[in-house]
Structure 1
Amino acid sequence: MKTMLTGIQSTGTPHLGNILGVIIPSIKITNKLKNASFLFIADLHALIQQKILKLETIKNNTYQITAAWLAFGLNTKKNILYRQSDVSEVTELAWYFNCFFPYKRLTLAHSFKNEKKNNYKKINVGLFTYPILMAADILLYNAEIIPVGKDQLQHIEITRNIANRFNKKIGKKLFLLPKAFMKKDTMSITGIDGKKMSKSKKNWINIFTSDEILKKQIMSIHTDNKSYYEKKNPYNDSIMSLYKLIAPIDRVENMKKKYLQGKYGYLEAKKALYEEIIKKFYVERKKFFSFIENKSLLDRILFLGAKKAKDIANKRLQYIRKSLKLI
């Protein structure tokens, strides 16, 4: 009877990495679990990037992410899909955690350290306390299964640390310890530049766009300068790394064979990847565009999801307040 929780920041339309690494695996988990799962659009987390994102963009991205979850078949009657900012209890819990967690430990968070190297003066407090809010997202619902990418592993460890500290301080097991769930083949989805696919790096592939733009993105995938006639390495290639996650095994093996034999160019491989994406996600793309045209439906789904989440969160928070002797 475990509970799953995951969220996607509203910093852009979900890209192929989000879909393969979070959305599809998470929906598969929800279908196996008896408990309702919590899936949220992390618009509060997205505010960390408000200097480069227009606030209206964050709102529109919320619709894009909601439509993506629905397009891939998330069951909203069983599960709870909601906007993070609609559940204010999470920010109250985050404040309690702020008061119980040491400043020095938080300075070691990768999300802070990496940004500190690049642009120390422009770091906002939200970025620094990002792991605290993430811990509140998880622990508010006592979620134990957390689908994450490799770069989020440290944040799960911080969450476990916070839960342990809080439990010991209060003298009771208020919080369960969450575990990261990762599929090995989708731990780090390759972007068009060969690095991890990311909106911030602008190296993403967006399947929820026109065929023309999608094709242009795929044709931009970086490769080495081997000619059409030369043999190529299928085990260290961005096109192949994406193709094997999407195409049936027989077509993957066929492309590998062509790479190793030569007389097969990267242009042909990119065309094959494009065609596979168009074929595989035809239904989901059609549903996505249909949902985007019906924002009142999306608002209704998010409203009902937030109501369910808030009811659960408020009961949990009442118990936590009592444990802190606040009431």
Structure 2
Amino acid sequence: MDSDRYVIDVAGLRRSYAGGFEAVRDISFSVARGELFALLGTNGAGKTSTVELLEGLARPSGGTVRVLGHDPYDERDQVRPRTGVMLQEGGFPSELTVAETVRMWAGCTSGAQPAGEALEAVGLAGRAGVRVKQLSGGEKRRLDLALALLGRPEVLFLDEPTTGLDAEGRRETWELVRALRDGGTTVLLTTHYLEEAEDLADRLAILHEGRIAAEGRVKDVVAAQPSQISFELPEGFFLGDLPPLERLGVQGHETTGRTVRLRTVELQRAATGLLVWAEQAGVELRGLDVRSASLEEAFLHIAREATETAKATEGAAVR
């Protein structure tokens, strides 16, 4: 691995638990220096199991992990001082104040920045004297992030960083994460908020049942999914009265009553052809909705497709 270019490199990674359950099944990916990489998946897809291996919290059952050119489990002393970790739950001492918590954590962190700077960065400077037990759920997540940033990490692991935050807090956290990436920090993010991944990530991988179902730049993963055009058929017209759907670049369609939904990867071509037809026919397409594919639609489609493939494979094995 070229550690100057790729600061995270995963090859053939596996993780099994007692009883033989395999949570991570032979996955491989790399994250470039200064890149924000999102790891997505439904509950139980293997996200947290994967991130824990990257953080060096457990030894892989198979395959290799390298972070900054080192094994994060066997060479933890080479990796830990250069990484920041924000877990799903921090578990802070409830009676300490916010400032006391940061100072305590700073005492265990190499090259820690001043507590006030860390709290200012996450919008908690005004809550420094408040006991942790009095913080809201969103404020506790901000404290989690402040501690992850204390050592000015080269690599930052964010596991569901905006859970519990309101819309404003989520946007502020996004701005902070962008600034860190723009400053050269490599970020690996797990999130259930697909809008968050779409907005922040340079590249992503979608996990499904422990395997990577899709990987690539966000725009490429989304572009691989069909866009949609929906409208109501004008009175007196039927589906067959439309121009040939293949000529419009339509890959599939469905109808519900008078409503027609067209799926296409050539949205401009299909929409233009449809509107020209309507103009020439002198009709109005009521309820017209032209919508590009989104990461959410891509995610749902990929997960559904992966499930169907797995079922077909299992069925073939049984026969």
TM-score (norm 2): 0.29
Normalized per residue, the structure richer in strand is 2
Higher RCO (CA 8 Å, separation ≥ 6 residues): 1
Normalized per residue, the structure richer in helix is 1
Task: Give the structure with higher Rg (CA).
Answer: 2
